[in-house]
Structure formats: C-alpha cells, structure tokens
Amino acid sequence: MNALSSLVVVLLLAGVAWVGGALALLRPVFGLAVPGLAAGIFLVGVATRVVGWARTPVPFRIPTTCGQQRSLPWIKASWIECPWTRSGVVVRMALEVLLFRSLFRNTRGAITTEPVAQGHGTPAAAPEGFPRAARLVYGEQKWLWLAALAFHWSFLVVLLRHLRFFLEPAPALVGVLAAVDGFFQVGAPVVYAADIALLAALGYLLVRRSSDPQVRYLSLFQDYFALHLLLGLVATGVLMRYYVRPDIVAIKQLTLGLVTFAPVVPAHVSPLFFVHLFLLSVLLAYFPFSKLMHMAGVFLSPTRNLANTSRMRRHVNPWNPPVKVHTYEEWEDEFRDKLEAAGLPVERE
Amino acid sequence: MALTTVSAATRDRFLEEWLACTLGTYPEQTSRFLREEPDPFRNPVGHTLDVSLRGLTVELFGGFDRARVTAWLDPVIHLRAVQDFSSADAVGFVALARCAADRVAERGSQGIGPGALDVLGTRIDEMVLIAADLLDRCHEEIHAIGARAARRRVFVLERAQARAEARAAARGGAPRSAPRGEIP
Amino acid sequence: MADQTPSPEQLTQVDYRPKGKSWLDPHVEFRKGTYCYSAAPKNLTYLGLPNPRQWQPFDQDWKLPPDWKDIILAGMKERLDRYRSFRLFMDICVRCGACADKCHFYLGSGDPKNMPVLRAELIRSVYRRYFTLAGRLLGSTVGARDLTEDVLKEWFYYFYQCTECRRCSVFCPYGIDTAEITMIGRELLTLVGCNINWVIEPAANCFRTGNHLGIQPHGFKDSIDFAVDELEEITGVRVEAPINRKGAEVLFVMPSADYFGTPHYYTLLGYLALFHEIGLDYTLSAFASEGGNFGLFTSHEMIKRLNAKIYAEAKRLGVKWIIGGECGHMWRVMHQYMDTMNGPADFLEVPVSPITHTRFDHAASTRMVHICEFTADLIRHGRLKLDVSRNDHWNVTFHDSCNPARAMGLIEEPRYIIRNTCRTFHEMPENTIREQTFCCGSGSGLGTDENLEMRLRGGFPRANAVRYVRDKHGVNVLACICAIDKATLPPLLEYWSPGVDVAGVHEFVGNALLMKGERDRTTDLRGEPFASAKEDRAHA
C-alpha cells in the first residue's frame, strides 16, 4: 500500500516535470526557479536542523561500549570500539560513517551446523539419519550492509561525476573518477560501474523493504518514497546517459547558468532532463524534513561520538537541576533509636 | 506397519508442512525469520521448533516411543507455555500435524496411504494428550519457580533475623523491632 | 486467541496469524503474566510523584489526570530540548530493520512490536504528529498518530517490556539507543502516574531507609553480622565488617541484594573474606546501603535523588575513595551518571590500591572503582594466595551483564578473575557474550513475580546459549556480576536449563582464597563440599 502510493506520487511528480519540460512557458520554472528554490530549502533546512541538534545539550556521557574499556594497563583495551581518546573516537566515527561498522557487525559469525542437544534435562541429539535439511543460508543482513555501502558510495561517485556539469573546466578529479569508474568498458558509451551498483543497490533495498515481512511491517510511506524518488532520479539519469542522449551542451549551459547565477534556459533540452532535474529538486527540498537527515545526524549521535571516559573526566550537564534528596541528618533523625540500639555510631547523640 | 514404508521424501514433505503450519501460529512478520534464520543462538525459537518437530516426525513414522516423544515435545511445550498462547493454542501445534498429514496424503501414490494415515492420526492424537500433560507440568513448574524466587530474595534476611531474635531472647532483652520499615 | 478448546479438525482450519494490522493500531491486551502491577499510591506519595491512585493496567479506566495529554506533550517538548539523544533518535532512524532481531523480547515472543525500531516508533509516531510539519499535515500517511489513551497504554505495555539492555544500539548504524528512548518513555509515563510497583517501591524504600527492601539500620547490621558469623563458621576466620566508621580509607557500596538474597549472599562472603585478607581499611554504610538505583528505571531526576547519598556519605565519613560491588545497573549509574549529576567528587582522592599501589587513573574523576578492577589488579600483582582446586566442583561460563558490557566496557576483568580462581571455564557462543550479550530478560525493574512468563520468554535467548554450553561442556554454573542477574537467572535456568547454578565472581574468589589462620576448609561458601573432599569421601 505504502509502496504503491509512494510510487504513484513519484510518477506524478515525474509527469508534472515532463509536462513542464515540454511546455516552453513552464521551462524557466522547472529549469531555474524550482531547482533554485530547492537548493535554497536544502541549504537552509539542513543548516537549521544541524544547528538545532547541535544546540540541544548532551547532558550525560552515554557511549555504547562495544569492547574492553581502558582500565588496568595490562588489560588490552579496545581503542576503537570503546575509545578513550579523541583519535579513537575519530576512527570509530570514521568506520561508522565510511564503512558502516555497526551494520557490518550485523553479519552472522560462524554458523553452527552441528546438532544442538535438545530435550529438557536429558540432552538428546538430533535424530539420526535425519539431520537438518540443507537450506539456503539466510545472509540477509550481510546483504543489507553491502547494499547500503554500495548505494552510498556509488551515489557519491555519481554525484562527483556530475561536477563536470557545474564547473568549467571540469576538475581533474572528475576525469580520474570517470576513468576508474568506466574501467570495465563495455561498448560505447562507457558503462560506469557506479551506475550499475547504484541501481542494483537501490533495487535490492526496495525489494527487501517490500518483501521481508519484518521490514515491510515497519515501513512507512516516506521509506518507500525516498527509495522511489532516488530510483526515479537514477533511472532518468541512466536513460539519458545510455539511451536518449540529450543535448549535453545545452544542459551544461543551463547548469552553469544556475551555479553562476546567470540563468539561461536553452531551447533544445529534452523533457527527460526536466524530469531528472525536478526529481533532484524534490529530493533536495524534501531532504531536511526527512529521515535522510541521518547523513548529518550520524555525526552527532551521543552513543557513538563520545569517548568512554565517564569516570576519567567529569562531564558537565548544562541544565543539571537541584533535586530533593534525603539527607543523612534526616535519615539519622528518623532511625536514631534503631541506630543507637544496634550500636551504630551517630553524629548527634 | 504401513507407516514405515512411507518414503523419506514424503516424510520430509510432511515435516515441511507441519513446520509451516506451526510457524503460522506466530505473527506473520516473524514467521519467516523463525523459519529462515539458521543461527540457533540468534533464532532460538525457530531452532527449537525445527529440531523438535524433526525428532517428532521420526517418531511418528518410526517406533513412536513414548519416552522419546515426550523428550522431543518438552522443549517446544516449554517454549509455547510462556509465549502469548492460550492453553489450547499452546498445544494446538501438535494437532496441526493432522493438517500436514492430510495435505501430504492428498498427493496420491506418492503420499501416505489411507491405512497409514489412520495410524498416523492415532499417534498424533496421543501426542496431543502428552503435550497437554507437559503443558500442565510447565504451568506447575512456573508457579514453583516463582515461589522459590520469592524465597531466595529474602533467604539471608530471614535467617539473619531469626538468629538476631534468638540472641536477643537469650539475653532476655525486649523484642526487637522488625527490620523492614514499611513506607508510611 | 480463542479460549475454548477446539477439536483437531477445527484447529487445522484455524488461521492463527494476527490479521495484517498496521502497527499504528495501538490496541494491546494486558494478558496475565505479561505486565507488572501498578505502583502503590503510598510509594508515589512518599516520593512526591504525580497522580497517586489505585489502578491496574488491565482496568478500562486508568484514572489519568484530565489534562494528561498536555502534560505528556509538554514533557516531550521539554525533553526534546534537553536531550540531544532523544531529539536525534526521533529524527534520524531510517527503519532499516538491522535492530529487528536483536531484542531478546522479540526473539523470545515473536511480537513484532518488540522489534527495537517499533518500540521507538511508538513514541516517534506521536513526535511526528505533534512536532513535525509532515506529521501535522499528513497524519497517519506518514506514520503519525494522535496521542490517545490507547497509545498511552501501549507505551506502558512496551516500555515496561524493554530491559534497557542496549543490545540493539550496538547494531544500529546511527547508534540509536532504545534504552534512551525507553527511559524517556517511562519518564513521560511517570508524569501522569503510570508506574509499576516493582520499580517505585524499591525506589521509595531506598529513598527512605537507604536500600530497596526497606531494611532499617539495625536490620542491615544484623545481616552483616550474620554474614560475618557464617564466614567464621566456614573458614574459621573472624573478619571485621565495620559500618558507618569515620576515617576509613575506602567506602564499600554494594547492591542490597548481596546481604539479603541468595545466591548474592555468597558473593558478599567473598568480599568480606577478600577485604579481611588484604587488610583493607574500609567501611560499609547503613545510609548508603544500596548501590542499586531504581531511579534509572523511573526518571533522570530520580536517579539523581537516589544517587546523591553515595557522595554525601563518602564525604561525611571522610573516606578517600569508593569501591563498588557486583551490580549491573548500579554501575551504569556510577559510571555514566554519578559524577555528572552529583559531582564533582573533589573531596575524594584519585583511587590508589593500598596493596599494590596501582593508581586507577581511569576513575580519576568519579573516584569509584569496580570491585572486579580492584581484585583483578590484586591477582595480577600476585597479592592473593589462591587454591583454584577449591572451585573444581564448578564448571564455569560467564554471562556479561548488559550494563557493565555495553555501558562501561568491563569485559575482561571478571574473566581474568574467573580464570585465576577456577580451572574449568567455557565461553558461550560469540554472538551471545561481551558487547553482544543477551539480557537476562528481567533488567530495568522487571524482575517481579507477576510477569514471570514474559521474563522467561525474554530470557530464552540467554538461557538457550547457557543450555548449549551445559550440554556441550558440562557447564554447571553461570557466573555474573549483576544483582538483578543473580535474582532472575536462577528461575530462568530452572526453567530452560536445569542443573546450572548462578554465582557471583567474588564467590569464586572467596572459595579459592587461602586465608591466614583459616581452618582446614572442606566446604565452599555455600556449605557444599569441595570436589577434593567429595573424592576423599568416595575413596574412603
């Protein structure tokens, strides 16, 4: 249901953009105004959200420790999984952000195939001659890690490759990237590995979300919407790159115009390009209000970005309020007879 | 007996059907996980069901030794006794074996013959009764476990108080006030 | 599910699967055995907590204050502004489902709302509705829910079905910690008086008398004296266990269960023997007679109120530093909260072991050392004479308690002690120990009788791993360093893995410790004959 409705919404958006790109009257709107506005919303929105989080205090030092603490010098402490230095935290965060360390932890260790003794009290082995049937190994969580990694990295590569539309001349980095990415040259035009990875990863994430009963149950409209939007964006990009070759020169005129604040709308741009641009605009404008903000949020997560130095250095809570406590004096007064009868020392006789 | 001549493939199909019926008693969001996750520590419930139903299937089509049947049933009953099932549902998965048998029998010559099906049905009925007994025992066990846990919580306190009071009495002192103070 | 007993034929037709209801439907059924009783009004009144009244979770009418909704929403707003963790965790979850099968309650029950992500969504859906633009405009389309009484009841059901063990947070790519969300959820419930008695009564008792059971000072002294007597009977050595003694070097704080429950008590005997043998200059306190802190399961404010006495008492007694006993959630508080809430502890000194002169720099600010760190250091320096054969009747495995493992990283110290006091030690499977340890299923104040079924279910993943090492290696004791574990693992193992006892790490120390002037010991601290004594008897 959610999957379907979000798909319909994305298709509608695409349709709107197609019409907008086809009508000369609307082209300036879809070519210039919408992208400009979206970029503005993105920048202001993300900044607002990040500042909002950053201004919210972290009252307690609550890292999740995933390894041995630093305590006695002869016990090998885990400087990354349970960091106590700034560099440890930086490495932990880098592993988290660049390699999705925690998701990787999610992979299963060695799978025990030996029959585990059963039966209550009296262990009974699995029945003889009838061992566990060989089954497909359910490596789902590893795939999640792989797909997530593939998606994020290839998205970054594709994004960087797009720099050639915004910078004149294109930076050398873009050339190098394109060369590496297109290493597995298959015919012409060059097929980029990142494009394939991106599509495959998004496809997997979508299939997983809609077919795994657990994940499907907890998925909301916006979860599918983000995936469909990204798929639409990538699909239109791939179409333009490999099938419907639009007028690249005209497009570059438009994009350069956008970033140099000298807007021009060239006449011969395919409506497909407008769909691509519009979906991107929607993504940008939607970004700050969505779960996609995890991109920035992960850096601020207190269970990951704090060192486990809770007992080494005092952490200050800026709003630490006074509370009503039960003082020793009150306690002694209440139990004086009993303290004295038991021969326990008291402050006041 | 006709049951021993049932082919291994049929027996496997029966097990698959029975497992599927049993997993169907769990929320649909969970049953696939219970079925597919092979790590016995990550999926103890699915693993327990798998191993036990496997063992029970061997007994159903084999010797049907009461003691062994009880031993195989026990872990599952322990499990279902504390899951969110009514008593009927907790042991009901055993009766679902009939459903599995019927489905397998429908497949004609490859399946289970009518005579064998009758024997199987009788065995399943007996298994239901064993399961009901086991469930009863689980409930008693839970009750006893709760009572013992409550005792353990104050085990030292009670003994310490008894000794302190005995000593106070021996000294001829006044009776001591209770160690625990109720919130006024 | 139907209550009448159906015939097998009917049964085969029954479709048990809950209809494909969306999780947005908040209805829960309070079945006996799965919930905890409400807090007694006198306990709430004593602590000055809101809305004391007679009610039970299964009642139709929860007697909420008329403006309960405003109270909750204002409470949420306040907490969103005060806790970055809460605000961030509300915002950034992508519902990837990596946490789904990490919760012991989910694994044991199969109830999808026990998936950590959904536990958080219970509150996140309300956050969306009242605090985000999309939720205000689009409502349930984007997973936003109105705050209704049913939602509140659902919160109560599921936030008191989370043990705040943090296992899910280990696997979350953003470090979203369900424990943080549950803590806030319970705080909000506290604002309208929806608490459980098993948490609030210990908290009230602790506030008043100093410990959970409400033991008054003379009762505390009786228990300690009793332990001293029994230790003498077993070892022939008379130890000192001073209480409220000013000028001692160290204040020792333990969970109160150590001196009134079993098997905790044998750990206490272990501490007493150890401190005597090394000649530690220490004192206990009848005022700070509880290290545990059920405030952690109520609200941040209550943590601070209950915890205040530790530093206050250390200051009054003029000690130099503090040692803390074997306890899980107590150590979460001591490690992550105490210094921030009630520090700075500038009246104390940086802990230095008087025996080995090791400076515990990792506790330089809080100035409190875990007994396992202290003892491991003693053993490492060869300052204890240990006869490991006296633990030969034990075949040990170690359960990492959630809080020491995932909130402190105290993982190797207890293992080092076990390896040096016991000869047979087997680890449970890798994905059930250390930072991936499974909870006992009864933490965070859920260890009561009325919800035993739910606890047995939640503890199954843990017990399942214990059963594995029992069958594979003949393990007969599960060691742990948590008072809640020691109270709740025995019932769990009686049910799932009979024949495995539960013991504290310092019980092994007490058994193995060769004390000056001890008599020829033939039994361990439990009065059970040593393995060697058993053999002798067999030969005779």
Residue C87 lies in a domain: yes
The answer to whether the CB atoms of C362 and A84 lie below 8 A apart is yes
How many angstroms separate the CA of residue A97 from the nearest CA in chain C? 8
Of C167, C195, C223, the residue at which a domain comes to its end is C195
Contacts of B36 in chain A (CB under 8 A): 135-136, 138
CA distance C214 to C202: 8
The answer to whether the CB atoms of C5 and B34 lie below 8 A apart is no
Among B29, B40, B78, select the one facing A217 at the smallest CB separation: B29
Contacts of C287 in chain A (CB under 8 A): 328, 331-332
The answer to whether the CB atoms of C108 and B45 lie below 8 A apart is yes
Contacts of C429 in chain A (CB under 8 A): 109, 112
C321's enclosing H/E stretch is: strand C321-324
Which pLDDT score, from 0 to 100, does residue B107 have?
64
Burial B143-152 (b: 16+ CB within 10 A, else e): eebbeebeeb
Q: Helices (DSSP H) in chain B: which residue ranges?
A: 8-23, 28-36, 44-61, 66-82, 87-105, 114-153, 155-170
C288, C310 Cβ separation under 8 angstroms: yes
Note the pLDDT tens digit of each residue in A132-150. 433 333 345 678 899 999 9
C282's enclosing H/E stretch is: strand C282-283
User: Which band of pLDDT confidence, cut at 50, 70 and 90, is reported for residue C21?
Assistant: confident
Which pLDDT score, from 0 to 100, does residue A115 have?
40
Contacts of C334 in chain A (CB under 8 A): 311
Residue pairs spanning A and C at CB distance below 8 A: 289
Residue A305 lies in a domain: yes
Q: Residue C3's closest chain B neighbor by CA? A: B86
Say yes or no: C139 and C218 in one domain. no
- Of C4, C14, C436, which to mutate for an interface test with B (greatest number of B Cβ within 10 Å)? C14
Residue A115 lies in a domain: no
Residue A112 lies in a domain: no
Residue C91 lies in a domain: yes
Residue C315 lies in a domain: yes
What is the phi/psi pair of residue C252, to 5°?
A: -105, 125
The answer to whether the CB atoms of C11 and B124 lie below 8 A apart is no
Q: Residue A294's closest chain C neighbor by CA? A: C92
Note the pLDDT tens digit of each residue in C144-176. 999 999 999 999 999 999 999 999 999 999 999
Among A84, A121, A314, select the one facing C498 at the smallest CB separation: A121
Number of domains in chain A: 1
Note the pLDDT tens digit of each residue in A30-48. 888 999 999 999 999 999 9
Contacts of C17 in chain B (CB under 8 A): 24-28, 31
Of C163, C195, C227, the residue at which a domain comes to its end is C195
Say yes or no: C175 and C224 in one domain. no
Of C172, C195, C218, the residue at which a domain comes to its end is C195
Say yes or no: C381 and C399 in one domain. yes
Q: What are the structural domains of chain B?
A: 2-135 (1.10.490)
Lowest-confidence segment of A169-173, A303-307, C51-55 by average pLDDT = A169-173
Q: Residue A74's closest chain C neighbor by CA? A: C380
Per the prediction, chain B carries an average pLDDT of 87
The answer to whether the CB atoms of B92 and C6 lie below 8 A apart is yes
Which pLDDT score, from 0 to 100, does residue A135 have?
35
The answer to whether the CB atoms of B38 and A124 lie below 8 A apart is no
How many angstroms separate the CA of residue C244 from the nearest CA in chain A? 7
Number of domains in chain C: 2
Say yes or no: C441 and C491 in one domain. yes
Whether the per-residue pLDDT at C2 is higher than 60: the answer is no
The answer to whether the CB atoms of B184 and C42 lie below 8 A apart is yes
Residue C62 lies in a domain: yes
Say yes or no: C235 and C170 in one domain. no
Chains sharing 3 or more CB pairs under 8 A with chain A? B, C
CATH code, domain carrying A286: 1.20.950.20
Percentage of chain B surpassing pLDDT 90? 49
Burial class (CB in 10 A: 0-12, 13-18, 19+), A87: exposed
Residue A171 lies in a domain: yes
User: Which band of pLDDT confidence, cut at 50, 70 and 90, is reported for residue B92?
Assistant: very high
How many angstroms separate the CA of residue C162 from the nearest CA in chain B? 16
Q: Residue B143's closest chain C neighbor by CA? A: C452
Whether the per-residue pLDDT at A116 is higher than 70: the answer is no
The answer to whether the CB atoms of A115 and B51 lie below 8 A apart is yes
Residue A210 lies in a domain: yes
Residue in the block written with tokens 């496809």? A203
Say yes or no: C314 and C173 in one domain. no
Q: Which pair of tokens denotes residue C13?
A: 């037709």
Lowest-confidence segment of A257-271, C178-192, C312-326, C335-349 by average pLDDT = A257-271
The mean pLDDT of C333-343, rounded to a whole number, is 96
Chain center to CA of C461: 17
How many angstroms separate the CA of residue C21 from the nearest CA in chain B? 10
The answer to whether the CB atoms of C365 and A338 lie below 8 A apart is no
Say yes or no: C289 and C405 in one domain. yes
Note the pLDDT tens digit of each residue in C194-250. 999 999 999 999 999 999 999 999 999 999 999 999 999 999 999 999 999 999 999
The answer to whether the CB atoms of C456 and B142 lie below 8 A apart is yes
Say yes or no: C428 and C303 in one domain. yes
Which pLDDT score, from 0 to 100, does residue B182 have?
79
Q: Residue B18's closest chain C neighbor by CA? A: C12
The answer to whether the CB atoms of C340 and A317 lie below 8 A apart is yes
Residue A146 lies in a domain: yes
Question: What value, to the nearest 5°, has the Cα angle with vertex A136 and ends A132 and A139?
Answer: 120
Among C97, C177, C366, select the one facing A303 at the smallest CB separation: C177
Per the prediction, chain C carries an average pLDDT of 93
ipTM score for this prediction: 0.92
Residue A119 lies in a domain: no
Say yes or no: C166 and C218 in one domain. no
Antiparallel, parallel or unpaired: β C282-283 and C321-324: unpaired
Lowest-confidence segment of A42-56, A124-138, B75-89 by average pLDDT = A124-138
CATH code, domain carrying C54: 1.10.1060
Residue A221 lies in a domain: yes
Whether the per-residue pLDDT at A110 is higher than 60: the answer is no
CA distance C380 to C353: 13
Beta bridge partner(s), residue C529: C523
Residue C16 lies in a domain: no
Which pLDDT score, from 0 to 100, does residue A185 have?
65
Say yes or no: C233 and C139 in one domain. no
C499, C462 Cβ separation under 8 angstroms: no
Q: Which pair of tokens denotes residue C28?
A: 């829960």
Whether the per-residue pLDDT at A241 is higher than 90: the answer is no
Determine the structural domain holding residue C398 and report its residue range. 203-530
Kindly list the distances between the CA atom of residue C299 and the CA atoms of A26, A271, C200, C260, C294, in Å, as whole numbers in the listed order.
57, 57, 11, 26, 9
The answer to whether the CB atoms of C210 and A81 lie below 8 A apart is no
Note the pLDDT tens digit of each residue in C67-106. 999 999 999 999 999 999 999 999 999 999 999 889 999 9
Say yes or no: C420 and C442 in one domain. yes
The answer to whether the CB atoms of C134 and A289 lie below 8 A apart is yes
Both ends of chain B: CA-CA distance in Å?
A: 73
Chains sharing 3 or more CB pairs under 8 A with chain B? A, C
Among B28, B45, B145, select the one facing C494 at the smallest CB separation: B145
Question: Structure pTM?
Answer: 0.92
Say yes or no: C191 and C81 in one domain. yes
Which residues touch C225 (CB under 8 Å, ≥6 apart)? B160, B164, C241
Q: Which pair of tokens denotes residue B30?
A: 């969970």
The answer to whether the CB atoms of A328 and C85 lie below 8 A apart is no
CA distance C261 to C259: 6
The answer to whether the CB atoms of C340 and A59 lie below 8 A apart is yes
Among B12, B39, B54, select the one facing A127 at the smallest CB separation: B54
How many angstroms separate the CA of residue B106 from the nearest CA in chain A? 23
Determine the structural domain holding residue A56 and report its residue range. 2-107+138-341
CA distance B140 to B137: 5
Residue C407 lies in a domain: yes
Residue C538 lies in a domain: no
User: Which band of pLDDT confidence, cut at 50, 70 and 90, is reported for residue A104?
Assistant: confident
